[in-house]
Amino acid sequence: MSRRDIPWSHPLNVTLRVGMDRTFGSVYDALDFLENEWPRNRGGHYDQAVSACRRSLNGLTPGEVAREAFIAACLEAGMPAGAAEPLPYRRSPHRLSWARV
């Protein structure tokens, strides 16, 4: 699987079951959460979200399709999701700069 990240034009704010809010700004952020931090109950929307995120990172599905699938999985798990304020910056995994000392 490609680790090329795909930022969303509108980040998502998800209210976790513990009551904390968390912002997701990209497909990779969502997939990492789905695979490593997701609650035990995993329904059909969870499987669709994982698949959509993987397909998106591999260039087979638009990032917005993965975003919508992630929203559906969050709602199915009882975690409200909605648009967050745009991030003040856009991360680019392909542009790294190193300062020379």
| Residues 30-89 pLDDT 10s | 999 999 999 888 899 999 999 999 999 999 999 999 999 999 999 999 999 988 766 555
Q: What is the model's pLDDT at position 89?
A: 54
What angle (nearest 5°) sits at the alpha carbon of residue 93, between those of residues 89 and 99? Answer: 80
- Alpha-carbon separation of residue 81 from 3, 14, 39, 71 (angstroms): 24, 4, 15, 6
Question: For position 97, what pLDDT does the model report?
Answer: 39
pTM over 0.85: no
- Quote the pLDDT of residue 17: 87
What pLDDT is attached to residue 83? 82
**Tokens at 38, concatenated:** 């997701």
CA-CA distance, 59 to 53, in Å (whole number)?
Answer: 10
Question: To 10 degrees, what angle do helices 63-76 and 27-36 make?
Answer: 40
pLDDT score at 41: 82
Higher confidence at residue 39 or residue 100? 39
DSSP string computed for 24-73 = EEEHHHHHHHHHHT--S---HHHHHHHHHHHHHHTTSS-HHHHHHHHHHH
Residue with the larger pLDDT of the pair 6 and 91: 6
Count the alpha carbons within 13 Å of 57 in the hemisphere toward its beta carbon: 18
